[in-house]
Amino acid sequence: MKKIIVSLIILIAIIFMVLINKNNLLKNFYPIKYSEYVQKYCKEYNVDENLIFACIKAESNFKEKAESKKGAKGLMQLMPTTAEELAKELSITINNENIFEPNINIQLGTKYISKLISKYSNIELALTAYNAGSGKVDSWISDGILKNDGSDIENIPFKETNNYVRKILNDYKIYKELYGKEGKWNEYKRSNGKFYK
């Protein structure tokens, strides 16, 4: 009986410690690595830092040399053609090596997210386009599969994209709760949908 009581006390103490340190434990799973680049480019392109951290987590889990089977590269898993278009727009020279550099990859990925948010005026469709491409999203909207306000992401026809968007939105919420920063997206909402770059 004494062993049971001691075990219960230890278990209660462990639960109490976990509850107190929940945020610290979660921060191990939701890090803010490369924050100097994320902060710099989120400020420059008017994007919420928490959203970019959530994207990096989902895309590469903060592995800068990540490369997908389809050829997406780096922390933000940029397809080479998309990266080249963005680099040209920003007057950056990229190649197969430097596309993996966090500074360049985060700049290009954040710029792309910013462009997609400006185009669709909501995060849900911007993330859908980041994964499936703008052409697909535009056709889904014109075919009535998705609403142009992003309120029906459960209708995204590609399972991978559907799961992807849900994961990032969930991670985005967790990042905001953990780090307590109110990002640029909240400023967008407060400005009655006017997005300023």
Q: Tens digits of per-residue pLDDT, 132-182?
A: 999 999 999 999 999 999 999 999 999 999 999 999 999 999 999 999 865
Q: How far is the C-alpha of 123 from the C-alpha of 193, rounded, in Å?
A: 12
Asked whether 148 and 141 are in contact (CB, 8 A), the reply is: yes
Q: Where are the domains of the chain?
A: 21-190
What does the pLDDT look like over 154-168, one tens digit per residue? 999 999 999 999 999
Each residue's pLDDT tens digit, 41-57: 999 999 999 999 999 99
* 12 has pLDDT over 90: no
Q: Which of 49, 59, 67, 101 is catalytic?
A: 59
In percent, the amount of the chain with pLDDT more than 70 equals 86
| CATH class of the region 21-190 | mainly alpha
pLDDT tens sequence across 188-197? 443 434 333 2
User: Has 59 been annotated as catalytic?
Assistant: yes
- Rounded CA-CA distance 40/42 in Å is 6
Predicted TM-score of the model (pTM): 0.81
